Chains A and B, each alone.
Chain A
Amino acid sequence: MFAVSAAVILLVTVLILVGIRPRLKARSELETPPWSKALMVGGGVIFPVVVLSVLWVLTLHDMSALSVPATSPALTVNVIGHQWWWEVRYPTQGVVTANDVHIPVGQPVRLNLTTADVNHSFWVPQLTAKTDMIAGRLNTMWLQADKPGVYRGQCAEYCGLQHANMIFYVVADARVAFARWMSQERQPPVQPSDPTLQQGQQAFVTSACTACHTIQGTTANGRVGPDLTHFGSRVSIGAGAVPNTAGNLGGWIIDSQSIKPGNIMPPIQVDARQLQALIQYLESLK
């Protein structure tokens, strides 16, 4: 398609240049050269009709090829858009996570796309075309990665203040690695035995965090923000706002508004010692 486009642009450029070439001999004003009508009809009607018909047939072909995967997807993932993060659910496995979509390589995965609030759009430029998530509707698409790796995706339908930081990562694992990841996700995190971690857990469950976040195996079961059960294994904090490091996590908890202005999580007062424990605890949730 790019070649055809480039050829068309080139053709017109050449004609413009022919048009503006210096003239040796002036033509009379009224004479209409016989080729001029032919140029208009040839260039303006015949040429586009031929090119466009071919393009249209190719489009239909691609469209039907893209609308169904080669083999029927074995895995289904529900992705739910929120202002401004992604909830990711594996319904058959009962796994809930956020902002990272793990998939096995080499096989198509079915995605059910919905939104909890305004419209969003799911787009992984390197893997697939985008599909909108529209209030009150379910859109489905399928996704396949042929090589293991981390593919960056981003919301592609303007959704308000932090549309720019509504990023996610598709993590494509080899089959074995994916199975390992999945079995780990299916279990609640082991109860901490280390005293610092215990203190961190205590800090979490006794603070406001529980109103908005869930950690399996604890009393925290809020659903406003991302599920944090396996937060430690996530690529980023705040849907791609910053990389997932202990330092960034501290900054996020104290004042996520300075990192991602306008996001739904309020700044939260935590005293310094508890904060350290909390950070360690959250990062230990692999």
Chain B
Amino acid sequence: MALTVDERLEELWEEEPGLGSVLSTVDHKSIGKHYIYTAFAFFLAGGVEALLMRTQLARPDLHLIGPEAFNELFSMHGITMIFFFVTPMLFGFGNYFVPLLIGARDMAFPRLNAFGYWIFLFAGLFMYSSFLIGRAPNDGWFNYVTLSNHQFTPALNIDYYTLGLVFLGISTTVGSINFIVTILKLRAPGMSLNRMPLFVWAILATSFSVVFALPSLTMANVMLELDRRAGFNFFNVAKGGDAILWQHLFWIFGHPDVYIIFLPAVGIVSSIVPVFSRRKIIGYLWLALATMTTAIIGFGVWVHHMFATGLPTLSMAFFSAASMLITIPSAIQIFAWLATIIAGKPVFKTPFLFVLGFLFVFVIGGVTGVMFAAVPFDQQITDSYFVVAHFHYVLFGGAVFPIFAAIYYWVPKMWGHLLHEGLGKLSFWLIFVGFNLTFFPMHILGLLGMPRRIYTYHAGLGWDGYNLAASIGSSVLALGILVVLVNFLLYGLRRGAPAGPDPWGGDSLEWATSSPPPAYNFVEIPKVQGTEPLWDQPELRDIGFRARDVEMTLAEGHDTMGTTVVDAEPESVLTMPEATYTPIVTAFGISVVFVGFLTLLLPIIVLGGVIAIGGMMAWLRPKELPE
């Protein structure tokens, strides 16, 4: 008996369920979920670290946590949140949704995708294993020399940092390259660049930023490791090295990284605003351009992290101007969203609440950011608690609020169940109030002269009340995050009402297929004619499960469609790889190599190298050609 098209596709694409498939999957949706689970676990770890810090700082002169432990906590908190939570979380959503949004069946390089995930997981475990020997990184997330030089921190703390980040960098780099190729080559026919969803634009911009920014960080870390382990002197002032060099190399990466974090989050906001305002987004082209410009100007502002280092006035004037300039694209985006909301008829579901919360919080963060661009003010408050307040408004407000919005928006698609609306609203208010209570007082603390990164402070400086408020706020915030987790575990995974293909009346292609989508995403590759395909082309609404045009089902093999870069004209049919263990084996081999570098044991390095090369050879072995 002949199979129907969807049964055939099912047979071609479905992976064997079970533990094997968890480890060998190359399905972008499974990998996306892996990313999200893992990144959320790191978020909880970073959150616990933050709560411990806030407990220690709740009252003056407390001795709950000693200086060494505190320093490791704030360092690991920053490292975790920046490197192991926000970026991987957004990459997780990107992984899951970019192929769906562009009407493709997978990422361009599915095995590389799996490899990227395993490297991320292993790099995270590597970094966290430092706690087991009580030697977690302790020089902050930007690890300034000379404190991180061998001379001042001889123990392994810093080697975990340098090696761990070089290790993680492999994952971020391959992930970004994969996004770039996927977005440029696998878009559904008709989805020319100027019809691409804004979330996809954002992931594209971020990926380019990663590719250009990350080498600087990797370089800096390799140089530092050579200094520490092999007697080099890049940063050793006594031998003619330079201490400021590290700061430049770090921030050439570090500032674009802020946008690497922020842009995908903005993309999420641009997806959610029109759906819940019930109208097309206003200024689509402006928003797309603003995304790209932000990514580019982001490379010209790194020096504003270094205004207190004693730079020439002229260069400070230049970087000050660039830092102010970069607010313009953000301002355009904010006013485009506001215009859309005002012109629409908003529906207040939880994802939209988080977007509104984001708008409010992010504007405060942006305004305080502009203050930093004013050099004299910056010199006054940099490295004070004002900065801690500012970057949490930007990072938590700018990235974590959108991430929560994305959770409430997309979890129904990913697991097929609606989250509980009441719990959702409760979690929003707890997080919103807790957030502001935690971080607003920190502005004042900064102005009162409290420096950042101090494990304790004396009574009688007028800091006590604000610190206590911040600590109480952090528990409220934590409670809100817990409610999100419970909502997900209870409702998102099973109890929630069935979501159906399109619970929100969405405008983009992911809503045209079932929830969760089948392994092959869409029965038929859609032909797109505008920026809001589902609103403009009613015939696309069931393209995920009903075939009309057999040509476009590509059911001959394990295939997806390749299209041209700009106009997305159909160009080729691409055969995609099957599930395989080679990525995890290769990633494991590389982890062993890094453990070898950490312990400086040659046999371990060699062993890891053999495993990694073996894995790669199996991976690259050509398939037998058909007769």
Contact = CB atoms under 8 A, between A and B. Distances in A.
Interface of A: 1, 5, 8-9, 12-13, 15-16, 18-20, 23, 26-27, 29-30, 32-33, 36-37, 39-45, 47-49, 52, 55-56, 58-60, 62-64, 66-67, 83, 117-119, 121, 123, 125-126, 129-132, 134-137, 139-140, 152, 154-164, 240, 261-262
B345 A23 contact: yes
B331 A43 contact: yes
Contact of A59 (B282, B375, B448, B458): B375
A41 B289 CA distance: 13
Nearest to B536: A30
Contacts of B308: 121, 129-132, 156-157
B547 interface: no
Contacts of A160: 71, 139, 147, 152-153
Contacts of A163: 451, 453-454
B280 interface: yes
B132 to A, nearest CB: 21
Contact of A123 (B310, B374, B376, B451): B451
Given A58-B374, A152-B449, 7 more contacts: A16-B359, A27-B279, A27-B344, A56-B320, A130-B383, A164-B455, A262-B67
A234 to B, nearest CB: 17
A111 to B, nearest CB: 12
B374 A1 contact: yes
B348 A20 contact: yes
B82 interface: no
B338 A12 contact: yes
16 contacts: A15-B338, A16-B359, A19-B338, A20-B341, A36-B340, A40-B332, A44-B333, A48-B328, A55-B324, A63-B376, A67-B313, A131-B308, A137-B243, A158-B139, A161-B67, A164-B454
B328 A118 contact: no
State the 9 A-B residue pairs at the shortest beta-carbon distance, nearest first. Answer: A125-B449, A129-B379, A44-B332, A136-B237, A19-B341, A164-B454, A43-B335, A139-B310, A44-B335
Contacts of B147: 118-119, 158-160
A169 to B, nearest CB: 13
Contacts of B383: 121, 123, 130, 156-158
Nearest to A59: B374
A39 B339 CA distance: 7
Interface in B300-338: 308-310, 313, 316-317, 320-321, 324-325, 327-328, 331-336, 338
Of the listed residues B139, B328, B454, the one surrounded by the most CB atoms of chain A closer than 10 A to its CB is B454
A9 B364 contact: yes
A118 B342 contact: no
A30 B376 CA distance: 48
B613 interface: no
A12 B360 contact: yes
Interface stretch (B365-373, B484-492, B554-562): B365-373
B364 to A, nearest CB: 6
Contacts of A19: 338, 341-342, 346
Nearest to A133: B310
Given A39-B339, A162-B67, A8 B367 contact: yes
A135 B139 CA distance: 16
Contacts of B341: 16, 19-20
A16 B359 CA distance: 8
Contacts of B346: 19-20
A134 B246 CA distance: 12
B144 interface: yes
Contacts of B283: 37, 40
B344 to A, nearest CB: 7
> Which residue among B320, B321, B345, B451 has the maximum number of chain A CB atoms within 10 Å of its CB?
B451
SS of B interface (majority): helix
B567 interface: no
Contacts of A139: 309-310
Nearest to A13: B360
Nearest to A159: B147
B336 A44 contact: yes
B362 to A, nearest CB: 9
Interface in B463-521: none
Contacts of A20: 341, 346, 348, 356
A5 B449 contact: no
A5 B375 contact: no
A23 B345 CA distance: 7
A15 B286 CA distance: 20
B212 interface: no
B7 interface: no
A162 B447 CA distance: 22
A131 to B, nearest CB: 6
A135 to B, nearest CB: 4
B313 A134 contact: no
Contacts of A43: 331, 334-335, 338
A59 B328 contact: no
Contacts of B68: 161, 262
Given A19-B338, A27-B345, A136-B242, A1 B454 contact: no
Contacts of A123: 383-384, 449, 451
Contacts of A67: 313
A32 B335 contact: no
Contacts of A154: 449, 451
Contact of A63 (B241, B316, B324, B340): B316
A39 B146 contact: no
A40 B316 contact: no
B451 A32 contact: no
B232 interface: no
A58 B376 CA distance: 10
A30 B279 CA distance: 7
A240 B461 CA distance: 13
Contacts of B359: 12, 16
B400 to A, nearest CB: 19
A52 B324 contact: yes
Contacts of A5: 367-368, 370-371
Nearest to A243: B458
Given A12-B363, A19-B346, A63-B376, A39 B335 contact: yes
B550 interface: no
